[in-house]
Structure 1
Amino acid sequence: MGSRKPSSSTSGFFQAAPSVPQQYTASSQDKASSRHESSDDPVFSRVLSLYLPDPLPTPLQSHFHDFARLVLEPSTLQHTIDCDTDLPTIHPLTTFGEENKITPLRTSEGWRALKQIQTRAGVVGYAYPQPSLKQDFNRRIHQFGTLHLWHGTCAVATCPMGMTDGAAVLLRRHFDDPDGDQPGRGAVFRESYRRLVSLDPTYSWTSGQWMTERSGGSDVRGTETVARRMTTQEMQTDINHGRDKDAHGLPLGPWIVDGFKWFSSATDADMAVLLAQTGQGLSAFYAPLRRRTGHVPTSTAEAVSHTTETNGIRIQRLKNKLGTKGVPTAELELKGMRAYLVGQEGQGIKEISAILNITRVQTASSGAGYLARGLAVSRAYTLVRKVKDGQLLRDNPQHLAWMAAESVKYRANTHLVFLGAALLGATEQDHDAVTQGTRGASVLIPRSRGKQEMLLRLLTPVMKAQVTLNSVSGLRACMESLGGVGYCENNEDGGVMNIARLFRDSVVGTIWEGTTSVMAEDVLRVVKNPKTQNSLTGRVDILDESFGDWVRGVLSAIEKANNGHGGRGAGVFFTREREITANRYQVLRDLVRSSDLLALQRCGRAILEHIEAVACACLLMFDATVDGDEIATEVARRWVSMIALPADRIKIPNEGRPRDPAGEIEMDRRIFLGSAAVARSPVTTLQARL
């Protein structure tokens, strides 16, 4: 004992620093399996190859390749740290106690920088036609692929971008509406839309979505914010005082909005879409967040900082949240806010749903993106961490089995999110445009626009609920896989190892845009909609005619792929898995058909799980049949085993009987570590121990 040297702050054991690789790497290799394995996250490459032209066009390859590197650049990650540590603040009063209408909100330099990066990267813009890029493919896959790479770094700067995306969809729907008694509205909507989808940070806008009030988030019928038409005298007064334009010179709307919004993200946005009560009921409004003051500047500096003020908005306080620290979420008092009515009075919920549909898909995307980064960090740590007797964690069978199971769930949910994105793109373009030259889109995307829309309507709340829940549990596992290191913020080395931040930020995904319970009720509104009638047969079975048809079509395609391989392809392993999946769907269909609405409400979350289980099983099996990839095949088999109902477990090959332990461990390693496991030599010592 006396001969041993004590450790110190500069001597003794030091853990090798994990290196988190880029998520996507462009490859010119022809072999599909090698092409996917060249990236740290093969499932990302695989979903791109299903829904985008294959081989991937060079501009798209270059975009994903370069952006995957930008998100891990030390300078980018420093913005992430700054965003999470230099929190937004409000400054309600001027030096002499007057209300501060000029600069009441301060955000960090990191927050502003991240917003600029994501605008240039097209996290909104690439979903829309861009003159600089030929987009004869599914634009939404391009957009959501970019988002998937960005989520782990963005410090939830994507929150306002989701609402921006939704606002662009909403405004686009009203381009052809006559101005009527709101002169100038059409021109304002078109200019606002151009700014919302722009790739130029100096020109682009972001949008807020203000619905939540103190009475509750999901039930907007209790909205206490009210709107009224301005009188002719009020409008003339604003004109006389030069206060009839927004900060960019666009005319202000003829409505006045007053009320209180209790949970409003994107407080630093350029515009907002909000709900307010009118004489005809709950209505939707468009409002810029800043307006001209009417003050004539005496210098250039004064013109920049003192000629605009908030458009009737007073920030009461910022929310102190578990995560999403950099997002300036606030309680807002609206008093004299000028706005335009969107659509018709009393149709506010219908109008705002256009935004909710987008933000819910984006929330699901964020859940998968956070988990992608968490698993990347866990993989990097696993490769270098020494445990018992100098053994690396990568050789620990329990650890590999545990994280392989988490990787299977991540791959399943990533497929589900990108199916949602693909369906969204198909409804905005057309079937031929989004399927031409792809490896799987023509099978996975229904040709009928009506079926595309109904399937997306059904799957959106399922994705939003299940992927965000799995993200939280998966990131907790990733955090635990690093031991005490995982529980620390780890900003010292650029923040790339900070799973704690990802975990905190992921939790909100289960809550905002509707909790899991709200999503379950939303699904029931689809499958038990009393308004959906058929003149010949009575009520339409929406579940079976949308989701059921899709399931049967995909399972049939998997069977045909197996037959096409002459029994030698991946599909040969899926005979029983297809049967189990079909049975799980049958249980879901019988439950919906045999239960009234009250009974279904009690098991709403179970219905979400049923739909997720079946949809992901179909997607994983189909993905494996495309190229017969061994790991993709095993992932699909394991997912079906995980989601099989008790009565089906006897149908799973080798269920309950141990297979070759060394082979199973090696497959765990390949599923979890991916390309990092390929370079490893056979583990004879591990086999000897077993």
Structure 2
Amino acid sequence: MTARQPSSTTAGFFQQLPVIPPAYTSSTQKQSVKNSDDDAVLRNILNLYLPSPCPPEVDQSLHDLARTCLDPSTLRLTVDCEVNQPTLHLLGTFGGVNAVSPLRTGEGWRGLKDIQTRVGVVALGYRGFGEGESAATTAGLGSTPGKYNLRVHQFALAHMWSASSAAVSCPAAMTDGAAILLSRHLARSQPSVTSAQDAGVLRKVLEQAYARLTSFDPGYAWTSGQWMTERPGGSDVSRTETLARLGSEEELKADENTFASAADSVEMPLGPWFIDGFKWFSSATDADMVVLLAQTQKGLSAFYAPMKRTVVGVGGKRTPVMNGVCISRLKNKMGTKGLPTAELEIKGMRGWLLGEEGRGVREISAILNATRLWTAVGATGSWGRGLAVAKAYCQVRKIKGEQVLAENRQHVRWLAEEAVKYRAATHLAFLGVALLGISEWGVEVAAKDTRAGEWLPRDKQEAEILLRILTPVMKAQCSLAATLGLRECMESLGGVGYCENNEDDGLMNIARLLRDSSVNSIWEGTSNILAEDFVRATKGQVGGRAIEALGTMLDKMLEVASLRFAEHVETIKQTWHDLRTFLTTKKEVEALYRGKGLLRSMEDIVCAALLLVDACCTQGEVERVIADRWLASRISKKKHLLSDTSALTESEIDKQILFGSSAIRAVRRDSKL
């Protein structure tokens, strides 16, 4: 008999490292790729909102990015963002103010931004492969939008990228929002209605900025910041203390003499406005431009400003320096460690007014709506990675001898319940993506030859109205669900999940995903703020139209599902009738008091309809049981916990939900249950 040996640092049991599969595999390569285990909900979403078969350029780019996300070289950059965090260098060698490069970011942050730009996580929302200028750049100038919903392609990339991005997706979100805002101004005959600015010069400035925001070239591309948060108000921008005033000819000349230039870092003219104030929270402080709010004599207004301007020194040397921005300090945050977030003092920043004075909130809402949608999609993307890690881990984690955790019925049930929530949240977020595409290009382009085309709104304005009412729901509910879901994923790994696992290129670091995702339910409006936005959208000028448009879309969706899910359809209709009655009959004060509950009710209804449509379109058994589970746990009066179905039967359903039909067979081969 062999004597037992004690374990040591190098001897004894060592847990096998799980293999995390890419989230997407090209249809042309799926048969040749071993152990292909796509994120099924992402594939189903593409099947809903894109033509079938999936456009080859979309198929290939998603396949490539799915592997880039898990490549060790990418993951090492992600880890570097945690290790080499941004630093401030406010003074030069001899104590002078460092106006050239006061902020330094790590190699990981810069490398991830370059990857993001090259794959087109922003740019693909504006142009297709092989097209010249982006569609929005030349809005009204003759560009074509492509043959499908470019936004679905773009956000599918963003969804996969989120977990590996170490929050470089944050500046991407603000860049996308700024691109939307600038494109709308470029589509007008005059990009600003004030006579104090030269409309022709401003157009050239915005065209240059827009081209950089939507570029695939890291050496040319810009990112944008958005500065709204100040000390008095937080989300209440009406209390903004930053002030802007139009410079006189004498002041502008004096400023030009000080710097020997009136150009920004890319030699475009600086704006005629001087901006002074303090911003308490500025994400992506390394951005190249910013859209910010400031008070003028006519009220809160929106401004565009480059982050740097040119100074001409001795011998005519041209050097980019900060455009009136002094970084006071960097924020020490719970997560998003690589993301440079700062407090900023603004003194004499030169900028351009966007739109009308006093209408700044309306202007910046274009960015706010985009970043909220990015938050919802990014949150579900990180959650999807967490579930992928938890699922892969339970298939290799040894328990009770040679048994693996995937053979434990209770554990599989736990993760299956999380998988149902994840599917619902991801469908909810991508409904917003589909609506954004329709609001930009119309249904004939953004939903042509798609399964969702029969129930999506036919009118651009109707899509915009639906976004107005649903974006707060998506951002609030997806963010919160993802944070709670990642906590469950972390617990499912036991002590391993609680550790900051930066070994093995950080592949197992769910703790980081949880820390980073926690900000999603705070930035761009807490759940309370979003609940207020939702209620005011239902009670505002377009409230009646928004509720009517939502009811019409739900009716069409439920019509698709009526033959296969008649009982579920009736349940959803009754639930929607009750919510609609409340929204249309109760006073605003009553609705505001119950605002977060209304967000939850709206999520329940819309997700239920989406899951039923998904089940009908795929004709899949897994999709059917997921819809059943969602209805049972969120809408049906019957408590799922007290189901009469036997544990053996339920556990088989759990396996289908978590592993799918192909993966479940692998688990069954070695099952000892």
Residues 91-137 of structure 1, C-alpha deviations (whole Å, 9 max, x = no match): 11111111110110010011001001001111110110256248310
Question: Secondary structure of the residue that 1:494 maps to in structure 2?
Answer: helix
1:530-541 matches, within 5 Å, as 531-532=541-542, 541=544
TM-score for both structures, normalised by structure 1: 0.91
Question: Secondary structure of the residue that 2:216 maps to in structure 1?
Answer: coil
Q: Which residue of 1 aligns with 2:654?
A: 668
Report the Cα offset of residue 466 of structure 1.
0.2
Q: Which residue of 2 aligns with 1:61?
A: 59
Report the Cα offset of residue 56 of structure 1.
0.7
Residues 495-543 of structure 1, C-alpha deviations (whole Å, 9 max, x = no match): 11110000000000000000000000000111112x35xxxxxxx6345
Q: Which residue of 1 aligns with 2:273?
A: 255
Question: Secondary structure of the residue that 2:357 maps to in structure 1?
Answer: coil
Residues 333-369 of structure 1, C-alpha deviations (whole Å, 9 max, x = no match): 0001000000010000100101000000000011100
User: Residues 40 and 376 of structure 1 are in contact (CA less than 8 Å); yes or no, is this contact kept in structure 2?
Assistant: no
Report the Cα offset of residue 457 of structure 1.
1.0
Residues 532-579 of structure 1, C-alpha deviations (whole Å, 9 max, x = no match): 5xxxxxxx63453022121111101212xx3xxxxxxxx2xx222111
Which residue identity lines up with residue 109 of structure 1 in the other structure?
Answer: E
TM-score for both structures, normalised by structure 2: 0.93
Q: What is the aligned counterpart of 1:422 among 426, 434, 448? A: 434
Residues 148-205 of structure 1, C-alpha deviations (whole Å, 9 max, x = no match): 1101100010111111111111111112316632121111011111110111111110
The yes-or-no answer on 1:548 pairing with 2:551 is: yes
Q: Which residue of 2 aligns with 1:596?
A: 587
Report the Cα offset of residue 3 of structure 1.
4.1
Report the Cα offset of residue 445 of structure 1.
1.5
Question: Secondary structure of the residue that 2:163 maps to in structure 1?
Answer: coil
Question: Secondary structure of the residue that 1:608 maps to in structure 2?
Answer: helix
Q: What is the aligned counterpart of 2:334 among 314, 318, 322? A: 322
Question: Secondary structure of the residue that 2:312 maps to in structure 1?
Answer: coil
The yes-or-no answer on 1:158 pairing with 2:161 is: no
Q: Which residue of 1 aligns with 2:225?
A: 208
1:367-386 matches, within 5 Å, as 367-386=379-398
Which residue identity lines up with residue 671 of structure 1 in the other structure?
Answer: I
User: Residues 87 and 107 of structure 1 are in contact (CA less than 8 Å); yes or no, is this contact kept in structure 2?
Assistant: yes
User: Residues 282 and 343 of structure 2 are in contact (CA less than 8 Å); yes or no, is this contact kept in structure 1?
Assistant: yes
Q: What is the aligned counterpart of 1:170 among 181, 190, 193? A: 181
Q: Distance in 2 between matches of 1:449 and 1:185?
A: 28
User: Residues 297 and 307 of structure 1 are in contact (CA less than 8 Å); yes or no, is this contact kept in structure 2?
Assistant: no
Q: Which residue of 1 aligns with 2:570?
A: 579
User: Residues 258 and 335 of structure 1 are in contact (CA less than 8 Å); yes or no, is this contact kept in structure 2?
Assistant: yes
User: Residues 27 and 38 of structure 1 are in contact (CA less than 8 Å); yes or no, is this contact kept in structure 2?
Assistant: no
Q: Which residue of 2 aligns with 1:623?
A: 614
Question: Secondary structure of the residue that 1:53 maps to in structure 2?
Answer: coil
The yes-or-no answer on 1:339 pairing with 2:351 is: yes
1:105-254 matches, within 5 Å, as 105-130=103-128, 132-133=130-131, 135-175=146-186, 176-177=189-190, 180-183=195-198, 184-240=201-257, 241-254=259-272
User: Residues 260 and 334 of structure 1 are in contact (CA less than 8 Å); yes or no, is this contact kept in structure 2?
Assistant: yes
Which residue identity lines up with residue 664 of structure 2 in the other structure?
Answer: A
From the superposition, tell whether residues 543 and 239 of structure 1 become closer, same or farther in structure 2 (CA, over 3 Å).
Answer: closer
Q: Distance in 1 between matches of 2:671 and 2:305?
A: 67
Q: Which residue of 1 aligns with 2:134?
A: none
User: Residues 191 and 355 of structure 2 are in contact (CA less than 8 Å); yes or no, is this contact kept in structure 1?
Assistant: no
The yes-or-no answer on 1:51 pairing with 2:64 is: no
Q: Distance in 2 between matches of 1:397 and 1:621?
A: 26
Q: Which 10-residue stretch deviates more, 377-386 or 673-682?
A: 673-682
Q: Distance in 2 between matches of 1:649 and 1:382?
A: 30
Report the Cα offset of residue 296 of structure 1.
4.4
Q: Number of matched residues?
A: 651
Q: Distance in 2 between matches of 1:423 and 1:470?
A: 22
Q: What is the aligned counterpart of 1:459 among 446, 457, 470? A: 470
User: Residues 407 and 671 of structure 1 are in contact (CA less than 8 Å); yes or no, is this contact kept in structure 2?
Assistant: yes
User: Residues 311 and 337 of structure 1 are in contact (CA less than 8 Å); yes or no, is this contact kept in structure 2?
Assistant: yes
Q: Distance in 1 between matches of 2:418 and 2:251?
A: 60
The yes-or-no answer on 1:658 pairing with 2:644 is: yes
Q: Distance in 1 between matches of 2:119 and 2:591?
A: 43
Q: Which residue of 2 aligns with 1:10?
A: 10
Q: Distance in 2 between matches of 1:683 and 1:551?
A: 44
Residues 368-412 of structure 1, C-alpha deviations (whole Å, 9 max, x = no match): 001010001001101100122432100000001110000000000
Question: Secondary structure of the residue that 1:245 maps to in structure 2?
Answer: coil
User: Residues 267 and 328 of structure 1 are in contact (CA less than 8 Å); yes or no, is this contact kept in structure 2?
Assistant: yes
From the superposition, tell whether residues 493 and 178 of structure 1 become closer, same or farther in structure 2 (CA, over 3 Å).
Answer: closer
Q: Distance in 1 between matches of 2:477 and 2:113?
A: 28
User: Residues 20 and 380 of structure 1 are in contact (CA less than 8 Å); yes or no, is this contact kept in structure 2?
Assistant: yes
Q: Which residue of 2 aligns with 1:536?
A: none
User: Residues 21 and 36 of structure 2 are in contact (CA less than 8 Å); yes or no, is this contact kept in structure 1?
Assistant: no
Q: Which residue of 2 aligns with 1:681?
A: 668
Residues 61-110 of structure 1, C-alpha deviations (whole Å, 9 max, x = no match): 11111110011110000000001211101011111111110110010011
Which residue identity lines up with residue 334 of structure 1 in the other structure?
Answer: I
1:409-558 matches, within 5 Å, as 409-438=421-450, 440-529=451-540, 531-532=541-542, 541-542=544-545, 544-558=547-561
Question: Secondary structure of the residue that 2:27 maps to in structure 1?
Answer: coil
User: Residues 253 and 340 of structure 1 are in contact (CA less than 8 Å); yes or no, is this contact kept in structure 2?
Assistant: yes
Structure 2 alignment gaps of length 5 or more: 132-144
User: Residues 296 and 307 of structure 1 are in contact (CA less than 8 Å); yes or no, is this contact kept in structure 2?
Assistant: no
Q: Which 10-residue stretch deviates more, 586-595 or 340-349?
A: 586-595
Question: Secondary structure of the residue that 2:667 maps to in structure 1?
Answer: coil
User: Residues 44 and 618 of structure 2 are in contact (CA less than 8 Å); yes or no, is this contact kept in structure 1?
Assistant: no
Residues 188-224 of structure 1, C-alpha deviations (whole Å, 9 max, x = no match): 0111111101111111100000000001221111100
Q: Which residue of 2 aligns with 1:568?
A: none
User: Residues 127 and 139 of structure 1 are in contact (CA less than 8 Å); yes or no, is this contact kept in structure 2?
Assistant: yes
Q: Distance in 2 between matches of 1:96 and 1:685?
A: 72
Report the Cα offset of residue 601 of structure 1.
1.0
Q: Which residue of 1 aligns with 2:136?
A: none
User: Residues 247 and 308 of structure 1 are in contact (CA less than 8 Å); yes or no, is this contact kept in structure 2?
Assistant: yes
User: Residues 416 and 655 of structure 2 are in contact (CA less than 8 Å); yes or no, is this contact kept in structure 1?
Assistant: yes
The yes-or-no answer on 1:285 pairing with 2:274 is: no
Q: Distance in 1 between matches of 2:546 and 2:567?
A: 24
Q: Distance in 1 between matches of 2:518 and 2:315?
A: 46
User: Residues 39 and 45 of structure 1 are in contact (CA less than 8 Å); yes or no, is this contact kept in structure 2?
Assistant: no
Q: What is the aligned counterpart of 2:376 among 356, 364, 373? A: 364
Report the Cα offset of residue 290 of structure 1.
0.3
Report the Cα offset of residue 29 of structure 1.
9.2
Report the Cα offset of residue 626 of structure 1.
1.0
The yes-or-no answer on 1:20 pairing with 2:11 is: no
Q: Distance in 1 between matches of 2:241 and 2:587?
A: 34
Q: Distance in 1 between matches of 2:654 and 2:314?
A: 69
Q: Distance in 2 between matches of 1:383 and 1:79?
A: 28
What is the RMSD computed on CA atoms of the aligned residues?
A: 2.1
Q: Distance in 2 between matches of 1:443 and 1:87?
A: 48
Which residue identity lines up with residue 236 of structure 1 in the other structure?
Answer: K
Q: What is the aligned counterpart of 1:394 among 374, 386, 406? A: 406
Which residue identity lines up with residue 664 of structure 1 in the other structure?
Answer: E
Which residue identity lines up with residue 663 of structure 1 in the other structure?
Answer: T
Q: Which residue of 2 aligns with 1:96?
A: 94
User: Residues 78 and 112 of structure 2 are in contact (CA less than 8 Å); yes or no, is this contact kept in structure 1?
Assistant: yes
